[in-house]
Structure 1
């Protein structure tokens, strides 16, 4: 963490940028579904054009993707132009990323890194508590050329799908790491995307969104709970389940709109999760 602190401090002190007219940030979180899964008619090769279409249509400035294999990342970078990417496998052997896509013409990357959701966050493949798999978070510190003269801390993660205690401890760890990174990087705007594998108002949700400086963008823009807020569609277009995908932002950010994107293509879906979006003015 000391090396990370030094890198961020040097980046923030050594680079100065002119202040420009501020533009809202368009953010997307998208669990792509593991591209090598044996999904039959929903295999990646049969739906990858749908994924590219949804991303192209929304054109996010920032996008966090989960269950992202290298060939899925490469496909999106080829099909949807204009993005830089930061991410790595959560395992020492090639495996899924918590990938970060950001518009190359809008952002300058000042720093970036990864940590594992465990009691040994700096050790790749580490896992703790009742986690079934190693889980991780990826982060970047960005300068927004079209925004206020304040950096953006963008974090993307994927909590364990089985470990109840692991999800709670992961939320606590994530909140602590965000607080630490913010203190190093001169209080940047915070944006967190992820598949959290638990509903809003669960213990992990409250451990993260309950922080005094963070809020749930979707609930901020849509204060009334509705029956169709589920984000796991199970390939069937269902929406009555829990809202397990969230975009969390700084408390003082203005959320102009937030949505669950239920786009389908002849009753086929880009993923077994709906992508979610938010438009934010930091």
Structure 2
């Protein structure tokens, strides 16, 4: 009996899925009225607590929003610089659970002809666009993975710029540190799955929603504070993982929503 108990105690723990969220938090503007940041920050933090992600790729995050979220999320931290190279504008901020994963390395590049220059713009769109990337290690089993997070140009006429940005991201998959690691790309891509941008990205990374064994919540993600979404522009793409579930989250309190986008969550099993 003692031998059996010792053997059972020594057996390795069963693997658990990696929980990845993508969340356009909507920048803080007073024009949002009832949905201004101060009214919805508790709802946004509650959405994260319920989803229990290991890591979140955010978009439109301002520093005070990141700090507000971390103040409401014990055990979490965030990092990143803004799209102009400081902390006064929108960040592709990465939020992570320090109890489940450890930050190993991180950096950023800009989606432009000069990707190492902060704030650089090319291809005719009005605002700098960037990628924050990081390598993490899980605390429980030391498995490492890489995350990239982005926000592509938003105007209808920017599809060419979005496609060029997608091409740069795909090219960087092989040149950034951790090229051989399981990789996740989160983002607000401001285009739909019938676009050339989507085709470029999914030639290198699988869309976790259609690949997941179980899907919960609406497919579309942008709802403009109405709760009724009309476009799926937020995606979690991956390689080196098997998607188990894909969820669209619709946290709100009455007419006040966590954001004008639904956050999305994927549960992923490592395949190696």
Whether 2:228 is the aligned partner of 1:238: answer yes
Q: Structure 2 CA distance, aligned partners of 1:255 and 1:118?
A: 31
Higher Rg: 2
Equivalent residue number for residue 15 of structure 1: none
What does residue range 1-20 of structure 1 map to in structure 2 within 5 Å?
Answer: none
TM-score, normalization: structure 2?
A: 0.88
For residues 146 and 31 of structure 2, the distance between their equivalents in structure 1, rounded to whole angstroms, comes to 35
Distance 1:223 1:242 in 2: 20
What displacement does 1:44 show?
A: 0.5
Structure 2 counterpart of 1:86, from 69, 79, 87? 79
Deviation of the 1:68 alpha carbon: 0.3
CA distance in 2, matches of 1:110, 1:266: 40
1:92 Cα deviation after fit? 3.9
Task: For 2:174 and 2:220, locate their aligned partners in 1 and report how far apart those are by CA, in whole Å.
Answer: 29
- 1:210 positional shift: 1.6
Is the contact made by 1:196 and 1:244 (CA closer than 8 Å) also made in structure 2?
A: yes
Kindly indicate whether residue 39 of structure 2 is the aligned counterpart of residue 46 of structure 1.
Answer: yes
SS of the aligned residue for 1:123 comes to coil
Q: Deviation above 6 Å: which 4+ runs of structure 1?
A: none
Matches within 5 A, 1:160-199: 160-162=153-155, 163-181=158-176, 184-185=177-178, 187-199=180-192
Q: Does 1:109 align with 2:109?
A: no
1:216 aligns with 2:216: no
How far apart in 2 are the matches of 1:125 and 1:20? 45
Tell me, what secondary structure is at the counterpart of 1:152? strand
Extract unaligned runs of 5+ from structure 1: 1-18
Match of 1:278 in 2: 266
| Alignment TM-score, normalising by the size of structure 1 | 0.85
Report the Cα distance in structure 2 between the residues aligned to 1:61 and 1:156, rounded to whole angstroms: 14
Corresponding residue of 1:70: 63
Secondary structure of the corresponding residue to residue 68 of structure 1 = coil
- Asked whether the equivalents of residues 213 and 243 of structure 2 are also in contact (C-alpha less than 8 Å), the reply is no
- Which position in structure 2 is the counterpart of 1:5? none
User: Which residue of the partner structure matches residue 3 of structure 2?
Assistant: none
Tell me how far 1:227 sits from its aligned partner. 11
Deviations 1:183-216 (A, max 9, x none): x4361110111000000131101101122xx200
Could you tell me which runs of 5 or more consecutive residues in structure 2 were left unpaired when the two chains were aligned: 1-11
2:236 is the counterpart of 1:247: yes
**Equivalent-residue separation in structure 1 for 2:203 and 2:30 (angstroms):** 35
The alignment's C-alpha RMSD in Å is: 2.1
In the TM superposition, what are the counterparts of 1:93-172 in structure 2 within 5 Å? 94-147=88-141, 149-162=142-155, 163-172=158-167
Matched residue count: 256
How far apart, in 1, do the equivalents of 2:51 and 2:36 lie? 23
